[in-house]
Every structure is written in structure tokens, then in C-alpha cells.
Amino acid sequence: MPTFDIVSKIDGQTLDNAINTAKKEILNRYDFHDTKSTIDLDKKTNTLTIVTENDMRLKAIQDSVISRMVKQHLEPNALDFGKEEYASGNMIRKEIKIKEGIDKEAAKKIVKKIKDSGLKVQASIMDDQVRVQGKKIDDLQAVISLCRSDDFGQPLQYINMRD
């Protein structure tokens, strides 16, 4: 029986390259000379920490990171922007979480959307991914196009298509 998995992953090395390119871009900009702005990516906890002096620079750094992610073919909606908090002195810190895996609410929405479509497939939630099974590959491809047409709040990839 043909199957495939719907997952939400982000390539760590490509993300690291995008962040490093954004760092270089920020350091070379004239309006960032003599500033104490930093961008740190923690690969273990999947968080990106930005520390800078004011909101304008914070917004510029975020825009730079997003544009670099788009150029590296990464989905920017994989970033979960939290609130900024004040660090020591006049510094602003913002921690951005990188979404990995499909959370339970999004998985339920995906399964409900597939079941409501009337296609002859079965969708089941397995940890942080959704497995779809069907008798025909055409039905599975219809599920992929159905999921691509809707926004579930995070980027989706379709892997492990097996016959």
C-alpha cells in the first residue's frame, strides 16, 4: 500500500549558513558600525538569540535573517518570533524559536482536512509527523496538493513516498 509522510523539518546546516551570512551582512552595514549587536544560533535548543541596542536595529536584523533564509530556500514561517525583553542596560534581547516537527494542533488540522476532502486515504499522527496511506498514488498526490493549498502555520515537507 503506497504511503508517504508529512513532516516539518529545517536543514540545520542550511540554516546555519543563512544565519552566518546574515551576521556578515549586519557587521558590514554602515549603520551597525560600533554597535554591540549579536546573533547567536543554539543548535541544541533550536533558538536564535538577537541582542542589540534598539528596536530599529532589531527589526533590521530580523529582516536580514528572513531574507537570507528565503535566499537559502528555507521557509521563514519556521521561525516563532517571541516578545523582546530588555537585557542589561539599554540592550534588547529577542529569542526566536525554530519550529521542528508538526505540533499536535497542526497535525489534527492536517488530518481533519484530509478526511474532509473525501479522498480514499487514511491519515494518522505519528509523534511529530503525519503518515498518509492510500491504494493509489494519484490519491496521495492529491493529498499533497491539498496540503500545499492550505496554510497550517509551519512549512511542510512530503517525504518517504513508497509504493
Does this model's pTM top 0.85? My answer is no
Could you please state the CATH topology (level 3) that the domain comprising 3-8+101-162 is classified under.
Alpha-Beta Plaits (3.30.70)
Residue 134: band (very low, low, confident or very high) from pLDDT cuts 50, 70, 90: very high
In the chain, domain spans: 3-8+101-162, 12-98
Q: What is the pLDDT of residues 12-32, one digit of tens each?
A: 999 999 999 999 999 888 888
> DSSP states of 53-108 as a string?
SSHHHHHHHHHHHHHHHHHTT--GGGEEEEEEEE-STT-EEEEEEEP-S--HHHHH
Answer whether 3-8+101-162 and 12-98 agree in fold: yes
Q: What is the pLDDT of residues 36-59, one digit of tens each?
A: 889 999 999 999 999 998 889 999
- Selection from 95, 109, 115 nearest residue 8 by Cα: 109
pLDDT at 63 over 90: yes
Q: What is the pLDDT of residues 83-98, one digit of tens each?
A: 888 877 789 999 999 9
For domain 12-98, the question of CATH label 3.40.50.150 is answered with no
